[in-house]
Chains A and B, each alone.
Chain A
Amino acid sequence: DTGVSQNPRHKITKRGQNVTFRCDPISEHNRLYWYRQTLGQGPEFLTYFQNEAQLEKSRLLSDRFSAERPKGSFSTLEIQRTEQGDSAMYLCASSLYGRGKLSGANVLTFGAGSRLTVL
């Protein structure tokens, strides 16, 4: 297992352009999370999926943001009409829910992130 994979690792774009990030979670994990991290801050929750269902969205996720997990495997996060304030590290994480894992903390395994710079 290669862990959580994110692509691209870096993206530089001009204001107003659309960008898309992809996340491939650990194969047996059914939960997938997107977080955003800016300089000097901790990761901030954006949204999460269980299989293909999007179960929760943060108010940080404006209508310019959309996330999908069409077949319950990989996920994409698209940002339309990017703004300079969207510049951040976008982190994907996955975890295993249920299936015999009845107790313990919800340990998320993170990818290395996709850094977005909006000029």
Chain B
Amino acid sequence: DQQVKQNSPSLSVQEGRISILNCDYTNSMFDYFLWYKKYPAEGPTFLISISSIKDKNEDGRFTVFLNKSAKHLSLHIVPSQPGDSAVYFCAASGLRRNEKLTFGTGTRLTIIP
């Protein structure tokens, strides 16, 4: 049962343009959502999170939007830079913030110079 889904395995975006990565979830009990970025031969690194009581959180070039009614979130990166090329994972955690994270399958983002 895939509770967190990333339906686009890959995405290519021109440098300087906006990158939009999407994530859908099925479990309405999730209360926090996180985005991680992974380079080859490294572990995932935390990017940005959002609480289920918010609909937007921004940190520099990264903004996460949450649509609870649609059970959908997205990560916007603007402007996109070559160093943003990586695999991006969406993750969610349950009612107690200390619970484990459930990850999506990832989207490989390639920024074209």
Contact = CB atoms under 8 A, between A and B. Distances in A.
B93 A42 contact: no
Interface in A27-83: 31, 33, 35, 40-45, 48, 56
Determine the main DSSP class of B at the interface with A.
strand
A2 interface: no
Contacts, number: 67
A41 B45 contact: no
Interface string B62-106: 000000000000000000000000000101010001111111111
A42 B89 contact: yes
A26 interface: no
A105 B98 contact: no
B68 to A, nearest CB: 16
Interface in A92-110: 93, 95, 97-98, 103-110
Interface in A1-19: 4
Interface residues of B, number: 29
Contacts of A25: none
Contacts of A31: 98
Interface residues of A, number: 28
Interface in B1-45: 4, 6, 9, 32-34, 36, 41-45
A26 to B, nearest CB: 12
B110 interface: no
A91 interface: yes
Nearest to A45: B100
Contact of A109 (B46, B89, B91): B46
Interface of A: 4, 31, 33, 35, 40-45, 48, 56, 91, 93, 95, 97-98, 103-113
18 contacts: A35-B103, A42-B89, A42-B106, A43-B101, A43-B103, A44-B103, A48-B100, A91-B44, A93-B43, A105-B32, A105-B49, A105-B93, A106-B97, A106-B99, A106-B100, A107-B49, A111-B43, A112-B41
